[in-house]
């Protein structure tokens, strides 16, 4: 929840930014990150999203993500790369992730006390008396009774069947239930530049773009990035997939540029040192996004960042009735209440946004659409597995969290189980279960959207830095 003074302060900051922009119009026109116009595949424009995010969403998310429920993320960082043998582990201090000691984890997150308990034995609503039950048992010799015993092997098989059914709705390979999964404090392990680069890092993105993104069939290129003028050769669903991955990549790069190591020798000398300072690096931002350094594609990658923002924004709006009923349980009653109120406040703002991404135009009922949806899901699941090939633990942590967050958003949009507009859980012929999200899915969804929100806010900072030069 926000006080009036905080809102007023944020409005003043925005006005000052606009004043600076006004007196630097000529410079802004030359700025590659001064984007404008409609966002591809969507109906709203960039200026609308900037104002909505920077004034209404970003400050709320920044406060919400400090809460214990969203601060602790359970993840397995020890899974081997499933696609290739890779021994390029980062040995620098800033790549390392330190898991939480058990005593620092909120009590409510250690067990399952926040989950519904299924009663064992006679249900209180049973209407039969002891005599009636004994009377039924007397007929066992005359009628074939219902045998409720299940062999141990069949029970294990049924667990596999249930896991398979659950996986049908998931766009990512969830590992938080693995025996090697540990809680990580996201506030103590911020996403920032760690020095992880080189062939190992390039191989990750090449594998994602060249092997797991849909690509134009009439043209082949070893360049992992699809030129913007070639995207129209893809169908809508394929373009949405590519723009989402490109936007996620752009967001990660913005994070690295905005939280870069600032050292006197402008090199690696300060990495790993406790006294190292971090902050925005304008030269690195220009290197990664200026048209001169990206064959003209950098501004388009930034536009894709706005696109994925709208995709995840829509997922939160659609799942709002479900998320508003979540308890956000950690065991701290006051903190849990604050989290619920802050979440409801954020969702209220999100639901009022008029131009959400429209997922109903995708995967129209047809055999080809069902096949495409299956490929869409399998491609994205592969990308979540590729995160286990990242050689830097901190990069792997944030890569896994943000891909799981996007995967959760896609699950909400395309699982076919949830009608967020009317606030009802619905069933169709294929999906027989009620829509539900695990705690880790909620944590990753909100944190991933928080990363996108932070990126848009930081882009505005870089605009001001460029206009002041």
Residue 311: its H or E element = helix 298-318
Asked whether residue 84 is marked as a ligand-binding residue, the answer is no
- Residue-wise pLDDT for 389-411, tens only, equals 998 899 999 999 999 999 999 99
Question: Active site residue: 31, 33, 100, 392, which one?
Answer: 392
Give φ, ψ of 173 to 5 degrees: -90, 100
According to the annotation, is 215 in a ligand binding site? no
For the chain, the C-alpha Rg in angstroms (whole number) is 25
3-state secondary structure of 72: strand
Mean pLDDT of the chain: 79
Amino acid 443: pLDDT: 96
* Per-residue DSSP letter, 423: T
194 a known binding residue?
Answer: yes
Which distant-in-sequence residues (6+ apart) come within 8 Å of 394 by Cβ?
94, 95, 96, 97, 189, 191, 194
The whole-number pLDDT of residue 156 equals 55
The model's confidence at residue 159, banded by pLDDT at 50, 70 and 90, is: low
3-state secondary structure at position 197 = coil
288 is in an annotated binding site: yes
* CB 380 within 8 Å of CB 407: yes
φ and ψ at 131, to 5 degrees? -65, -40
First to last CA, the chain: 37
pLDDT for residue 140 is more than 50: no
- Could you identify the residue written with the tokens 């659950």? 166
Which residue has 């990242």 as its token pair? Answer: 390
Whether residue 17 is annotated as binding a ligand: the answer is no
- pLDDT tens digits, 271-310: 555 567 889 999 999 999 999 999 999 999 999 999 999 9
Residue 136 has pLDDT above 60, yes or no: no
Q: Which of 112-126, 243-257, 315-329, 397-411 has the lowest mean pLDDT?
A: 112-126
Instruction: Give the pLDDT of residue 122.
Output: 38
The confidence score (pLDDT) of residue 277 equals 82
Question: Strand pairing of 277-279 and 418-419?
Answer: unpaired
With cut-offs at 50, 70 and 90, classify the pLDDT of residue 130: very low
Residue 135: pLDDT band (50, 70, 90) is very low
pLDDT digits (tens, 9 = 90+) for 368-391: 888 899 999 999 999 999 999 998
Query: Considering only CA atoms, which of 398, 129, 70 is closest in space to residue 251?
Result: 398
The pLDDT value recorded for residue 422 is: 40
pLDDT at 415 (0 to 100) = 80
Mean pLDDT score, 444-458: 98
pLDDT category of residue 155 using cuts at 50, 70 and 90:
low
Return the structure tokens found at 348: 């209220």
Q: Of the ranges 59-63, 115-119, 168-172, 265-269, which one carries the lowest mean pLDDT score?
A: 115-119
106: left (phi over 0), alpha (psi -120 to 50) or beta: beta
Q: How would you classify the pairing of strands 182-185 and 260-262? A: unpaired
Kindly give the residue spans of alpha helices, DSSP state H, lying in 352-389: 367-386
Q: Kindly tell me if the per-residue pLDDT of 148 is higher than 90.
A: no
Q: Kindly name the residue from 31, 95, 257, 395 that is annotated as catalytic.
A: 395
pTM for the structure as a whole:
0.79
Q: Would you say 268 and 393 are in contact if contact means Cβ atoms under 8 Å apart?
A: no
Q: Can you tell me the distance from the alpha carbon of 382 to that of 211, in angstroms, rounded to the nearest whole number?
A: 9
Concerning whether 95 is annotated as a catalytic residue, the answer is: no
Once rounded to an integer, what is the mean pLDDT over residues 434-451? Answer: 92
């Amino acid at each position: 929840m926000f006080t009036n003074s905080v809102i007023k302060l944020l409005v003043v900051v925005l006005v000052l930014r606009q004043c600076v922009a006004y007196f630097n119009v000529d410079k802004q026109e030359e700025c590659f990150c001064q984007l404008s116009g409609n966002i591809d595949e969507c109906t709203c424009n960039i200026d609308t999203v900037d104002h909505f995010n920077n004034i209404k969403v970003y400050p709320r998310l920044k406060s919400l993500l400090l809460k214990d429920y969203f601060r602790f993320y359970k993840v397995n960082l020890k899974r081997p790369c499933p696609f290739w043998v890779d021994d390029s582990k980062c040995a620098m201090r800033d790549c390392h992730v330190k898991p939480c000691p058990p005593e620092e984890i909120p009590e409510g997150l250690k067990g399952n006390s926040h989950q519904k308990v299924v009663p064992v034995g006679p249900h209180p609503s049973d209407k039969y008396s002891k005599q009636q039950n004994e009377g039924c048992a007397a007929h066992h010799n005359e009628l074939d009774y219902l045998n409720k015993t299940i062999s141990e092997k069949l029970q294990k098989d049924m667990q596999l069947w249930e896991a398979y059914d659950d996986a049908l709705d998931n766009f990512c390979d969830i590992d938080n239930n693995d025996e090697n999964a540990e809680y990580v404090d996201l506030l103590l392990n911020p996403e920032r530049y760690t020095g992880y680069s080189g062939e190992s890092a390039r191989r990750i993105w090449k594998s994602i773009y060249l092997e797991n993104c849909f690509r134009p069939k009439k043209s082949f290129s070893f360049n992992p990035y699809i030129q913007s003028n070639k995207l129209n050769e893809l169908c809508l669903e394929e373009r949405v997939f590519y723009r989402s991955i490109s936007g996620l990549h752009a967001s990660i790069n913005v994070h690295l540029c905005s939280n870069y190591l600032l050292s006197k020798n402008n090199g690696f000398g300060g990495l790993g040192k406790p006294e190292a300072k971090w902050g925005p690096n304008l030269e690195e931002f220009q290197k990664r996004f200026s048209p001169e350094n990206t064959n003209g594609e950098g501004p388009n990658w930034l536009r894709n960042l706005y696109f994925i923002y709208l995709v995840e924004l829509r997922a939160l709006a659609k799942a709002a009735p479900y998320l508003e009923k979540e308890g956000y349980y950690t065991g701290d009653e006051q903190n849990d209440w604050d989290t619920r109120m802050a979440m409801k406040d954020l969702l209220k703002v999100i639901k009022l946004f008029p131009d959400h991404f429209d997922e109903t135009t995708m995967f129209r009922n047809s055999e080809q659409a069902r096949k495409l949806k299956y490929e869409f899901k399998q491609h994205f699941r592969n990308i979540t597995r590729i995160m286990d090939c990242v050689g830097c633990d901190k990069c792997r942590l944030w890569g896994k969290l943000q891909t799981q967050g996007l995967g959760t958003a896609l699950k909400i949009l395309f699982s076919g189980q949830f009608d967020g507009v009317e606030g009802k859980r619905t069933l169709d012929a294929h999906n027989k279960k009620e829509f539900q999200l695990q705690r880790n899915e909620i944590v990753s969804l909100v944190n991933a959207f928080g990363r996108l929100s932070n990126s848009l806010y930081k882009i505005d900072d870089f605009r001001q830095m460029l206009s002041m030069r």
